[in-house]
A = this chain, B = another copy of it.
Amino acid sequence: MRTVTTFAGVRKENRGSIGLVPTMGYLHEGHLSLIEAARDASDTVVVSLFVNPLQFNEEADLATYPRDVERDGRLAEDAGADVLFVPSLDHVYPEPPLTAVTVAGVSEGMEGAHRPGHFAGVAIVVAKLLAGIQPDRAYFGRKDAQQLALVTRMAADLSFPVEIVGRPTVREQDGLALSSRNAYLSDEEREAALTLSAGLEAVAAVVAEGEGSAAVLEALARGAVDAEPRARLEYATLASQADAAPRRGLDTPAFLAVAARVGETRLIDNVHIDSAGDHWVTDLGVRLEGPSILYEEG
Contacts and interface: CB of A to CB of B under 8 A. Distances in A.
A102 interface: yes
A158 interface: yes
A227 B132 CA distance: 50
Given A98-B153, A102-B99, A104-B98, A161 B128 contact: no
Interface string A125-163: 001111110100000000000000000011011111100
Nearest to A87: B159
B101 A161 contact: no
B161 A127 contact: no
A146 to B, nearest CB: 13
A102 B127 CA distance: 13
Chain A contact-residue range equals: 20 to 34
Interface string A70-106: 0000000000000000000000101001111111111
A69 to B, nearest CB: 21
A153 B100 CA distance: 11
B154 A99 contact: yes
Interface string A26-43: 000000000000000000
A159 B100 CA distance: 13
Among A92, A97, A123, find the residue whose CB has the most chain B CB atoms closer than 10 A. A97
Interface in A1-39: 7-8, 11
Contacts of A159: 7, 92, 128-129, 131-132
29 contacts: A7-B159, A7-B161, A92-B159, A94-B156, A97-B157, A98-B104, A98-B105, A98-B106, A98-B153, A98-B157, A99-B101, A99-B103, A99-B123, A99-B153, A99-B157, A99-B158, A100-B100, A100-B101, A100-B103, A100-B104, A101-B101, A101-B158, A128-B158, A128-B159, A129-B159, A131-B131, A131-B159, A132-B160, A134-B161
